[in-house]
Chain A
């Protein structure tokens, strides 16, 4: 954590009307790591993601991504910053009137000056890189299963080779084998591309398989941040329950189960 953090949040407050979701939230995400964000349902994990990416303007507080404050940037600079990250939404959020390949081509067409033929081939490559068969490129999102949609969404998020990747529950609703494949994929991509990954999840297996560090949200702010062994030492009922409950124990690798 010596380097400049890629995301820096200070005293963030996010509210919908009178209900405050996040308050006094401080967070530093170091560069080049996979950060898992966990917390009880409804604690504001997805809201935090929306606040960081500027989809939900915060009531107060500072959010810096790549050392830039998005809310004060000029529109052009903001677009430039936005193309340095990729987001995969919970339900994929693919454009339903475009095929998978066209979905992946959208950011490439919009933000690069490459030739159409190369964009087409690059999109095919990304589709296969995210674990789909090349034939999926011609299909429409409504023809795909949930797992395939998530992969297609990942392909679109990776289209511009972002430095920072936001994944909102990438493995929710997938069978364990597909989910494990997804975890391996994210980890491999992260290593090869030096990505920073901000991963919102409920899946204990995903945490063990991919995350360098974990952020626990709760009570409207960050309860704890650290590696899994570190978090096991944290004396907080929810965190203890999370890692020592039946599902948490089952997911732990054997050398950690003894502790």
Chain B
């Protein structure tokens, strides 16, 4: 390909007549050199445009020429000389380039800020109400399915149990094991000052059984399972699979939401149980290696001084966390719109809401059990 010739232009006066002489290639790749100067040029009345020395012309070049013609009220132009495509290109671009109205300026300022705060506040309430409504709908669906168990989709329930439950077990166990070690170390160093290292056992027992086992499981599930549910369902929604399902007489609530919710409600307690055991194992490990509490003594002391209630308190929270994670994931997934951005936004919202909900619900449980005096 020949290298492009720099475009140029000149207004030439010869007696009465004024001619705009265009030279070089006027293409999208070369226009930057003349853009600014050409934009301020105006054609006097009756001036012609000489295109005989014009090289290549494309729609971008034609657009610039057309803009000049519009600004000078000189359309249609009087072209002088021959050019293969100038006349037809300018005509075509002119037809497509009617100036459009500028968009209304976006409001910025104090009132706008107040408005956004207001909208944000209302959005929080509507979001809570909508999530609760979704909870109700899900509960109703599950109740209906329990009455008609042959309508339950066992294959997908078991598949979700494996994917979101069994496959999450290693990470959950590892995580709580290390948290157990950390708690034991912190407890041991603090309690050593009072010569009460043995109370590390109670520290581990209460914290793991009652809080860490189940809360850490909930948070791992919120990050791992929740995001994958939202992304799956959101993609199905984007590709109109959900619409297809509905037209085939399948209810998304039955097919997508119920199996996930049921699987999570069943699997979260099991995961929490494993997590609790792993956390205690972490504590035992630290006790054994650096506090000289041997595992037998550790377990014996734990049985004697940590009541079984603590275990049941922890376990009672697990199905609730599982339910919350699955609910939020499914709801956000189903809310996904048509764009990639919306999918990303929904996945983020889903994880944030799930973690937030788990911590708030855990606090509510703490108040509840404290009032009960356990």
Contacts and interface: CB of A to CB of B under 8 A. Distances in A.
Contacts of A243: none
Given A96-B341, A188-B92, A114 B85 contact: no
B63 interface: yes
A189 B85 CA distance: 11
B337 A118 contact: no
B202 interface: no
B111 interface: no
Contacts of B246: none
Contacts of A140: 338-339
Interface in B90-121: 92-93, 96-98, 100, 103
13 contacts: A97-B340, A112-B28, A114-B28, A114-B32, A122-B63, A125-B63, A128-B96, A129-B59, A142-B339, A142-B342, A143-B338, A158-B59, A191-B88
Interface string B47-86: 0000000000011100110010000000000000000110
Nearest to B63: A125
A134 B351 CA distance: 39
A217 to B, nearest CB: 28
B364 to A, nearest CB: 38
B147 interface: no
Interface in A100-133: 108, 111-115, 118, 121-122, 124-126, 128-129
A141 B85 contact: no
Given A129-B92, A191-B88, A122 B60 contact: yes
Contacts of A114: 28, 31-32, 35, 60
A96 B340 contact: yes
Nearest to B61: A161
Contacts, number: 82
Nearest to B29: A112
B235 interface: no
Please classify the interface of chain A as helix (H, G, I), strand (E, B), loop, or mixed, using the class held by over half of its residues: helix
A121 B97 CA distance: 9
A167 B36 CA distance: 34
A126 B62 CA distance: 12
Contacts of A134: 98, 100
A191 to B, nearest CB: 7
Contacts of B31: 112, 114, 118
A118 B60 CA distance: 9
Contact of A97 (B58, B88, B341): B341
A126 B67 CA distance: 14
B92 A192 contact: yes
B124 interface: no
Interface string B328-350: 00000000011111100000000
A158 to B, nearest CB: 7
Nearest to A189: B92
Contacts of B32: 112-115
Contacts of A142: 337-339, 342
A143 B96 CA distance: 22
A189 B93 CA distance: 10
A129 B96 contact: yes
A169 to B, nearest CB: 19
A82 to B, nearest CB: 13
A66 B1 contact: yes
A73 interface: no
A20 interface: no
A111 B35 CA distance: 16
A192 B88 contact: yes
A96 B341 CA distance: 7
A161 B60 contact: yes
Contacts of A112: 28-29, 31-32
A241 interface: no
Contact of B59 (A124, A126, A143, A191): A126
Contact of B89 (A118, A122, A138, A193): A193
A30 to B, nearest CB: 17
B103 A138 contact: yes
A126 B97 CA distance: 9
B314 to A, nearest CB: 43
Chain A CB count within 10 A is highest, among B36, B58, B64, for: B58
Nearest to A127: B96
A66 B2 CA distance: 12
Interface string A88-106: 0000000011000000000
A161 B58 contact: yes
Given A96-B341, A108-B28, 18 more contacts: A96-B339, A96-B340, A97-B341, A112-B31, A114-B28, A114-B35, A115-B32, A122-B60, A122-B63, A125-B93, A125-B97, A128-B96, A128-B97, A128-B98, A161-B60, A189-B92, A192-B85, A193-B59
B149 to A, nearest CB: 39
A160 interface: yes
A194 interface: yes
Interface in B1-33: 1, 27-29, 31-32
A114 B29 CA distance: 8
Query: Which are the 10 A-B pairs with shortest beta-carbon distances?
Result: A142-B338, A161-B58, A96-B339, A97-B341, A128-B96, A113-B32, A129-B96, A134-B100, A96-B340, A142-B339
